[in-house]
Structure 1
């Protein structure tokens, strides 16, 4: 039988017969080896060796022999590998009768106080000697007949801390460690210099850049009437940047942070995701440290919060704290910059006054990059990577992968990695092979919102006028919501830009999109319908 399996049986027996001592064996005694009928174990607490020899040896050897099917001799070692033999029997005492079937605790007088003299070969002594000064002294039985009463002031009670080795590790309180805040970003990599901007993101870029430049408008001199911030930068505060994922919203937040920290290290800048903000808020409420939380977030010069749409669903108390935090920062004339995947008016479950706060400053939209921006991004990435990428390859990638900057960079890595692994030249043909499975635009050539609507209407057998109209029967609402969902997913258009295709306001389109999302998670029929429609769209390429 394997050594750890055998020791598990021993622990189970102890837990059944004497559960009060189970933790001592489980925590402080460990098996080392088992061969030729000798079971060797080690204890990290030296005083347990004489105790086990006096009380548990016979019982443990009996369990080991029964479970292994052979006679077993127990040998104990201290943590310093000083071996103690358990071969010599210890005289039985009435405190530990074998007939009881249980383990017993012997009186102090039953311990082998002359063990070292009777066994000169044993290198370990359980009592304090010149060779073993670290072990406790030999116990002395008090003379109970001559004990006299004492006043409480005269009695010195022992402390459990006087013998740390007897304390179970689980009972020792450890100082709490504050969790490290880890972000999946290398802050230094995000600057305004390496952010490619154009028509799709110019307003967001210029607004973020102006706020970053405002740090140089601060003054610490009490003798000047110089305004804390120039009106030009104040017009952008608070700044709300929205758009689909992967278009550079986080890049702009980190660029602001880097710029301010570089040019004005004396100013406080705090970048945080909505998830970390919420988790820290909940932990502060739980631990009673709300004052520290408020001082941290309400006194910063620049508060940058990423993906605030995830504040949806938080409790009322959390939303109120968020509102008060934003209010305090705004009242101090400090900057608030937030990002989201939707407009302020599309943020459900938010206080109307908080939405108003977002809307009181600059709202900047970022849309998917056009061909020109994608080409510049690829050229700069190739230059930084010291890769000579042909213009036709850049045009191919830029013309087909334009839903997000993140996917564009992924396509770049895919092509480069494919050519390196295959050891082939970076040509248009090889680029096509590398991206054959990931370019969605190839699958939906010339795909438009009108094509999507027509295909959905044909699939559900409804008229296009009904889908684009105001009627709300179920057989019309489902196709309408499905068409809105597919248009949002496949065209990567923002919710407001889809208004012109469906003659509906963007809040209705957001509701339809989220409704289909929910149905796709829980409804097999909806998943099948979506798959069928996408198959039809592929055939229209």
Structure 2
């Protein structure tokens, strides 16, 4: 039952306490949404910061932030306007629940709170561990690393914009997230975002009449780091929005860092004026790592996973895997999983088995959505229609999530394409892929499931 004192919370004439303001907003929202919606999406939120143009609300995780921002923003914005008697932007900031406390010490600590929480978390990758400290420097990437460090020391003036390009899995994203984390820790406000996320947000801002909110988010910052900019090729509306954002930041002396899988001149179709802007700063590339760098990367990954792998095995992996760093790290993940499953110490036979089974990636083969759903169905012993259905049985849920993850990772389908293929909501696709990615790091059984399914697909494609 709604308590009357919550709904009619009285505020001073010119309220300045974001916590009190947000409590008043929640009181109004309690009358407009169902009890279950309020408890699920709103009860764990709190007022965090207030300025003349916006109120920032802390939320416990990205899932809640996305729900409030994309599905409930209009009623929240109206409730805030009624409480403050003026229109302001409403921003959602992901902060662990323990940060939302009321002590004076906590209020002071907020000013110095790890600002990496200001980084928009990418939908499909957990990157908080990617820092300059654990980036392995070698001949192939030392220029990109040095330029990235310079940007953190002199944002807006050293190498602006900084354009980093390389093949898949060679460290572009690591450097961008390391820059963002470093800048935020030093007190600047930096936003890391993939080009796909930028595109989706821009389109939604137009559709929901929230362009002012979008502009304020991406222009009232100190640094913008946009990953995989090649994604906006051919997207006229997004290129227009990015062009104006780019100009506004550069004119204001703010830092821009861009990554791509190819040089700017080779991104087609891309407006010439955008290409010209990208070429106006420093352009660096990352090459395939040499043998010594690969061994160092493997050793670092092994130590981070607390897995004891001999130097002989690490060298074998480095010699055999020539695709990218991601594949190298995958070898360490697999050897840990196999060791845990079999209770055997890693040896050379196991290493050879892993290399033999390592798929070159389904993107380069003739795999289809049909072949993947068939493999998932057979592996779990669940009919295809049940995998794609709405059953909440844990085994069915895992199979469904792995299917969406493989569509995303191995066929490189967009969120919209996966949503259309599975009949699931955009937010469900994001959640499913995030679950599998997180579980691959902590649950050896999920890693074994994904590895087996990929091997089965590869074997069938080879036979056919």
Q: Secondary structure at the match of 1:178?
A: helix
Of 155, 175, 189, 1:268 maps to 189
Match of 2:169 in 1: 246
Deviation digits for residues 293-345 of structure 1 (CA, Å, limit 9, x no counterpart): 22221221100101110001213x33222111111111111100011101000
Mapping of 1:283-302 within 5 angstroms?
A: 283-302=204-223
* CA distance, structure 1, for counterparts of residue 213 and residue 328 of structure 2: 42
1:409 and 2:329 matched: yes
Mapping of 1:298-337 within 5 angstroms?
A: 298-315=219-236, 317-337=237-257
Of 144, 147, 158, 1:207 maps to 147
Q: Is the CA contact 2:121–2:192 (under 8 Å) kept in the aligned structure 1?
A: no
1:425 and 2:345 matched: yes
Deviation digits for residues 378-422 of structure 1 (CA, Å, limit 9, x no counterpart): 111222233321111011001111321111110111122223323
* CA distance, structure 1, for counterparts of residue 256 and residue 194 of structure 2: 13
* CA distance, structure 1, for counterparts of residue 168 and residue 175 of structure 2: 13
| Greater per-residue helix proportion | 2
Alignment gaps of 5+ in structure 1: 1-163, 216-228, 442-530, 536-541
1:236 and 2:159 matched: yes
Q: CA deviation at 1:288?
A: 2.2
1:437 and 2:357 matched: yes
Q: 1:309 to 1:402 in 2, by over 3 A?
A: same
TM-score of the superposition, structure 2-length normalised? 0.51
Alignment gaps of 5+ in structure 2: 1-30, 43-66, 71-91, 93-119, 362-457
* CA distance, structure 2, for counterparts of residue 336 and residue 304 of structure 1: 6
Q: Secondary structure at the match of 1:242?
A: strand
Of 343, 346, 351, 2:263 maps to 343
Mapping of 1:108-127 within 5 angstroms?
A: none
Deviation digits for residues 463-503 of structure 1 (CA, Å, limit 9, x no counterpart): xxxxxxxxxxxxxxxxxxxxxxxxxxxxxxxxxxxxxxxxx
Mapping of 1:96-495 within 5 angstroms?
A: 177-179=68-70, 183=122, 184-214=124-154, 234-264=157-187, 267-315=188-236, 317-438=237-358
* CA distance, structure 1, for counterparts of residue 128 and residue 239 of structure 2: 32
TM-score of the superposition, structure 1-length normalised? 0.44
Q: Is the CA contact 1:414–1:435 (under 8 Å) kept in the aligned structure 2?
A: no
* CA distance, structure 2, for counterparts of residue 384 and residue 287 of structure 1: 43
Q: CA deviation at 1:439?
A: 6.7
Mapping of 1:67-106 within 5 angstroms?
A: none
* CA distance, structure 2, for counterparts of residue 435 and residue 422 of structure 1: 18
- Between Structure 1 and Structure 2, whose CA radius of gyration is higher? 1
Q: Secondary structure at the match of 2:357?
A: coil
Q: 1:439 to 1:391 in 2, by over 3 A?
A: farther
Q: CA deviation at 1:235?
A: 4.1
* CA distance, structure 2, for counterparts of residue 382 and residue 280 of structure 1: 37
Deviation digits for residues 203-232 of structure 1 (CA, Å, limit 9, x no counterpart): 1111111101225xxxxxxxxxxxxx6xxx
Q: CA deviation at 1:177?
A: 3.2
Q: 1:431 to 1:299 in 2, by over 3 A?
A: same
* CA distance, structure 2, for counterparts of residue 283 and residue 200 of structure 1: 39
Deviation digits for residues 257-309 of structure 1 (CA, Å, limit 9, x no counterpart): 11111122xx2211111111111111111222222222221221100101110
Q: Secondary structure at the match of 2:336?
A: helix
Q: Secondary structure at the match of 2:234?
A: coil
* CA distance, structure 1, for counterparts of residue 283 and residue 322 of structure 2: 23
* CA distance, structure 2, for counterparts of residue 309 and residue 251 of structure 1: 18
* CA distance, structure 2, for counterparts of residue 310 and residue 280 of structure 1: 14
Q: Is the CA contact 1:370–1:402 (under 8 Å) kept in the aligned structure 2?
A: no
Deviation digits for residues 35-91 of structure 1 (CA, Å, limit 9, x no counterpart): xxxxxxxxxxxxxxxxxxxxxxxxxxxxxxxxxxxxxxxxxxxxxxxxxxxxxxxxx
Give the count of matched residue pairs. Answer: 254
